[in-house]
Amino acid sequence: MSEIPHQFTADDSTFIDGIERILMGSSRRYRRRELSEHAGVDPEETRRVWRALGFVNSREGDVAFSDTDLRALRAAMSLTATHDLDVDTLLGLARALGRTTDRLAMWQTQLVADMISQRQDAPPEGKELAKATARTMADIADDLEPIMNYVWRRNLSVALSRLLADAQPESHLGVVRTVGFADLVSFTRLARSLSESDLAALVTRFEAMASDIVSEHSGAVVKMVGDEVLFSHQDPAGASRIARALKEASETDDVIPRMRVGLSTGRVLARLGDIYGTTVNRAARLTNAAEAGQILIDETTADALRHDPQSTLRAHEALDLAGIGTSPTWVLL
């Protein structure tokens, strides 16, 4: 790991260039056309890959690329020949990587900034806080990278295992999942009364709690949006355990408000890291219809749980769910 020179603090542009040089391992030296020529790739293809990764297109005359960028471009384009990937698939893989790592980098940076700002010994503020965060992130990047690679490979292994377990005849659309939505009751009203730091602490705590509970019960977090988590499970009983654990955790936590949960079982279509279909919509509608501290489930989920010794069901009135129609529902206790 290269030492981060203290003289970077004297000039912002020099500081930023220095941090980038440490993270990327080399300095900028190529314009976009020069990068394409050295990689043996059409300039338009370079631009498409760069844009798919989520990076801002540089102007033609800007020296914006390094030897690290050149090696990455060559490696990306070699996938089409070495592994017989078509260009559309390559660009799709690039978008998936760009979107995921963009959020990951922002998340990690904010965590480190929060840590530094909460130190008791005269924590830095404003630009000095940003620079202290940049130094710390650059300093830990080399040690963090192999952990990130390990986690990706482990998750890839899990994803492939699920793919094989879900293998269905081509006539079937999607895979069968029990889908759950859980959201925080009265979150909007609560958010208005909290400071920015308290709101950030609440959201961070909710994300950590939800992620831990879903993982503990072998489910998958599909996405989290502020006050709501969307999760899925291959088994209705497993999803019911997640729902109950989320509800119970919120009831005993002195920071997180109570939750309401909706569960629905059926086929879903998985695309770009998200899931779609009537099953997902039904779970969302059930969540909206649930009262604070209540878990509402659809008929298919209820049928699957009738012989589950850990599940207790109570009949609930049929609900007219927007865009879906009248649906029999049960309360999971």
pTM for this prediction? 0.69
pLDDT, mean over the chain? 87
Nearest to 245 by CA among 274, 209, 273, 196: 209
Backbone angles phi, psi at 33, to 5 degrees: -70, -35
Give me the mean pLDDT over the 232-252 stretch.
Answer: 95
Give me the mean pLDDT over the 188-204 stretch.
Answer: 85
Q: Is the pLDDT of residue 171 over 50?
A: no
Nearest to 236 by CA among 178, 308, 193: 178
- Answer whether 173's CB lies under 8 Å from 42's CB: no
Give me the mean pLDDT over the 187-210 stretch.
Answer: 87
Please tell me the distance from the alpha carbon of residue 64 to that of residue 58, in angstroms, as a whole number. Answer: 7
pLDDT in tens, 6-21: 444 446 778 888 888 9
pLDDT in tens, 140-167: 999 999 999 999 999 888 888 777 766 6
Nearest to 198 by CA among 257, 248, 252: 257
Q: Delineate the domains of the chain, giving CATH numbers in brackets.
A: 6-138 (no CATH), 171-332 (3.30.70.1230)
For tokens 């297109």, the residue is: 57
Cα 131 to Cα 15, 111, 197: the distances in Å are: 8, 14, 20
Higher pLDDT, 79 or 246: 246
State the first-to-last Cα distance of the chain, in angstroms, to the nearest integer. 54
Q: What percent of the chain has pLDDT over 70?
A: 93
Backbone angles phi, psi at 141, to 5 degrees: -60, -45
pLDDT in the model for residue 4: 46
Higher pLDDT, 117 or 242: 242
Residue 57, both tokens: 């297109």
DSSP-derived 3-state class of residue 134: helix
Nearest to 295 by CA among 243, 230, 221: 243
Q: Is the pLDDT of residue 267 over 50?
A: yes
Confidence at 264, pLDDT banded by 50, 70, 90: very high
Confidence at 124, pLDDT banded by 50, 70, 90: confident
Q: Is the pLDDT of residue 117 over 60?
A: yes
Q: Which residues, 6+ apart, have CB-to-CB distance to 146 below 8 Å?
A: none
pLDDT in tens, 296-306: 999 999 999 99
Q: What percent of the chain has pLDDT over 90?
A: 46
- Answer whether 52's CB lies under 8 Å from 94's CB: yes
Give the helix ranges, DSSP H, for the chain: 12-24, 32-39, 43-52, 67-82, 87-117, 126-165, 187-193, 196-216, 236-252, 278-289, 299-305
**How many other β-carbons are positioned within 10 Å of the β-carbon of residue 104?**
11
pLDDT in tens, 33-47: 898 899 888 888 888
Q: Sign of the C-alpha dihedral, residues 319, 325, 327, 331?
A: negative
